[in-house]
Amino acid sequence: MTEPWKRSIVVQLKHRDLDQHARFQDLIRFYTRLLEKTSLEKGILSCSISSCSSLPHQKNRLQKTTGDLAFQVLELQQQIKIKECFLEEQNTRLIGAGRRLAGALDARRALQRRVELVQDQNAALKVQYDERLELQSREERRLRGEELQREHLLEDLIQHKQQAAAHMNHHNQRRSRAREVNLQKELQTAARSKVTVDSCSSAGTSRSTSPKAEDLQESGGHTRLFRSLSASSPRILSSIRELFDRRRRGHSVCSLEEDLVLPVGLSSRVPVRALQVLEAHQQGINAVRFSSSSSLLATGGTDRVVMLWEVHAGSMTHRATLEGSAEGITCIEFDPAGFRILAASYDKSALLWRLDDSVPKVTLTGHSRKVTAARFSGLHQVVTGSADRSIRLWDLQRAACVKVVEVSSYCSDLVCSENFVISGHFDSKIRVWDTRTAGCVQQLPVWGRVTSLDISSDRRQLLSCCRDDCLQLFDLRRRSHDRLCFRYEDTPTFMTAEGFKCGSDSTKAVISPDGCFLAAGSANGGVYIWNVTTGNLETRLPGQHSAPISAVSWSLSGEYVVSVDQSRRAVLWSDI
């Protein structure tokens, strides 16, 4: 048997033979043809030589043919070498391409493994997402159930509070009637009694002693019994009833508020220059208000704080910062006594602070949207208006809502006067509400969306500012509610104020303490002041604000005016 290495050598030799045969096949074919031609030429040459040895030119031709064939053989060998080089280059490129293909296949397998891993992770995340989505759906259903339960509880609580308030009012009325009955009995007892006066003591003091009585006293020389002064006399009864009514009103919040708010002998001075300009807040300022003493000023802005400032000798000094609101402040007011401050907020609530405490004492919640206005209706009552189209009356002693009035329009601002609340709305109407019946008793049409309301110190004039760049002044003493209009118009029927433009839906305008002037801030940064008597623009204070003015406030002393804008700036104006 042949050994394996011999068989391997034989196979390799056959393979080389085939390879070499394939390479030199063309050369062999050409060489074979050359040999055939050479043999043919030799035969022809031999025949020619044998037949005709005298023809030398045929020999030359044969030599030429042989040289051409040799040249062709050389060319073919050169072409074979070129093709071999090209073949080696192609083999090298093929090897490189194979290596790159192997690397690409490895990368493809790695990417496939990564894809499988990512698909597994996505499947796990999809399972977690479905679980959390189901959990969220359950939580949302539970939240809706709790919200419905909270609404029911809130309605029950409000109903219980209303019942408690009605019971308390009934109890107070019974006590009041009992006091009136007792007082009436005392008056009747006093009316039946008679008063005896000694003649000698009454002669020197009484101016109503007649000459006849004096003659009788001198002649008789004894004490005379004068006609008794009956307590049932109409003048005495009316005086006692007046005192009784005044005594009862003395316990009323409204009377105390009137005594505290209504100043006497006020005289407002028109400011002419800025005494101080400062960056009062970290963000825009929405509200500003002087206290009844004119020595304290409050500002509130979108930075969620109320800043208290002491105003003295023409300068503002920071006194305290009141915190507690979750969002920006929209409205500020001091209580009639000047010891507390009330603020409305974007966080759907109203907050009450004591001036000596930076933490709110009372937080009034119940509105479903931002509270745009909060006013004192007395020492222990507050009225709030909101963007949720409702007006609420609150009892501060119980921190509870006692009345809710639903309105058909966004409430932008409100003021209080005795037993009435006056509110301004976005539907271009001012509404007058009776707090005793919670009903609207009158509607006053205006020419645009109401941005603010202000009432004079004597509660006789009402000022409204509207988005149509118009200020209207109402006389509340007349049924017709005559009004003056202050806005820029080409026609002479309107008072002109060139350049005045209401800057926002919450721009605040004010009446001076003496009711002689109106002040409002414009979108161009100027403070405009009109004369109520003449209807002309009294002055314009420009140059200190670079942003639209949000609100202005006039001190009750009539000495200072403060304007605030949406770029954190507060300016103190005066005529000194």
CB 183 within 8 A of CB 192: no
Is residue 337 predicted with pLDDT exceeding 70? Answer: yes
Check residue 46 and give its pLDDT. 67
Last residue of a domain, one of 118, 143, 164: 164
554/517 Cα distance (integer angstroms): 10
Domain count, the chain: 2
280: phi then psi, degrees, rounded to nearest 5: -80, -25
Q: Are residues 146 and 277 in the same domain?
A: no
Task: For residue 61, tell me if it sits in a domain.
Answer: no
Q: Which residue has the higher pLDDT, 169 or 345?
A: 345
Task: For residue 239, tell me if it sits in a domain.
Answer: no
Contacts of residue 376, defined as CB under 8 A and 6 or more positions apart, other chains included, come to 257, 333, 335, 336, 342, 382, 383, 416
Q: Are residues 390 and 512 in the same domain?
A: yes
160/457 Cα distance (integer angstroms): 37
As a whole-number percent, the residues of the chain with pLDDT over 90 amount to 48
Check residue 170 and give its pLDDT. 74
Check residue 30 and give its pLDDT. 79
Q: Residue 454 sits in which domain range?
A: 273-574
At 46-100, the pLDDT tens digits run 665 555 555 556 667 766 777 777 888 888 888 888 999 999 999 999 999 999 9
Lowest average pLDDT, out of 171-185, 437-451, 510-524, goes to 171-185
Count of CB atoms within 10 A of residue 363's CB? 15
Contacts of residue 111, defined as CB under 8 A and 6 or more positions apart, other chains included, come to none
93/463 Cα distance (integer angstroms): 95
Closest residue by Cα to residue 386 from 442, 445, 330: 330
Structure tokens at 417: 């006067």
As a whole-number percent, the residues of the chain with pLDDT over 70 amount to 79
Torsion of CA 451, 457, 462, 465, to 10 degrees: -30
Is residue 428 predicted with pLDDT exceeding 80? Answer: yes
Q: In what order do the strands lie in the sheet with 569-574?
A: 273-279, 569-574, 561-565, 549-554
DSSP letters of 352-404?
EEETT-SS-SEEEE--SS-EEEEEEEETTEEEEEETTSEEEEEETTTTEEEEE
Q: Are residues 158 and 293 in the same domain?
A: no
Is residue 491 predicted with pLDDT exceeding 60? Answer: no
How would residue 364 be classed by pLDDT, with cut points 50, 70 and 90? Answer: very high
Structure tokens at 335: 């209580």
Last residue of a domain, one of 147, 164, 181: 164
Task: For residue 107, tell me if it sits in a domain.
Answer: no
- Mean predicted lDDT score pLDDT of the chain: 80
Is residue 471 predicted with pLDDT exceeding 70? Answer: yes
pTM above 0.75, yes or no: no
Residue 478 one-letter amino acid: R
Q: Are residues 148 and 284 in the same domain?
A: no
Structure tokens at 333: 């007011």
Is residue 218 predicted with pLDDT exceeding 80? Answer: no
Q: Which residue has the higher pLDDT, 433 or 170?
A: 433
Is residue 7 predicted with pLDDT exceeding 50? Answer: yes
Closest residue by Cα to residue 530 from 514, 542, 522, 518: 518
Check residue 157 and give its pLDDT. 79
At 113-137, the pLDDT tens digits run 999 999 999 999 999 999 999 999 9
In sequence order, what E strands does 449-531 have? Answer: 450-455, 461-466, 470-475, 483-486, 509-511, 517-521, 527-531
Check residue 243 and give its pLDDT. 46
Maximum Cα–Cα distance for the chain, whole Å?
220
- Tell me the CA distances in angstroms from 174 to 181, 391, 567, one per residue in order: 10, 30, 56
Q: Provide the CATH number for the domain around residue 365.
A: 2.130.10.10
199/196 Cα distance (integer angstroms): 9
DSSP state of 227: P
Task: For residue 23, tell me if it sits in a domain.
Answer: no
Q: Are residues 145 and 279 in the same domain?
A: no
Task: For residue 250, tell me if it sits in a domain.
Answer: no
Q: Which residue has the higher pLDDT, 357 or 60?
A: 357
- Tell me the CA distances in angstroms from 321 to 65, 70, 356, 424, one per residue in order: 121, 115, 10, 30
Instruction: Taking residues 364-392, report their average pLDDT.
Output: 94
221: phi then psi, degrees, rounded to nearest 5: 70, 20
Lowest average pLDDT, out of 75-89, 181-195, 227-241, 502-516, goes to 227-241
Q: Directed axis angle between helix 234-250 and helix 56-192, to 10°?
A: 150
Task: For residue 359, tell me if it sits in a domain.
Answer: yes
Name the most confidently modeled range: 193-207, 213-227, 461-475. 461-475
521/482 Cα distance (integer angstroms): 24
244/109 Cα distance (integer angstroms): 103
CB 299 within 8 A of CB 548: no
Is residue 536 predicted with pLDDT exceeding 90? Answer: no
277: phi then psi, degrees, rounded to nearest 5: -130, 125
Check residue 198 and give its pLDDT. 45
Task: For residue 194, tell me if it sits in a domain.
Answer: no
Task: For residue 391, tell me if it sits in a domain.
Answer: yes
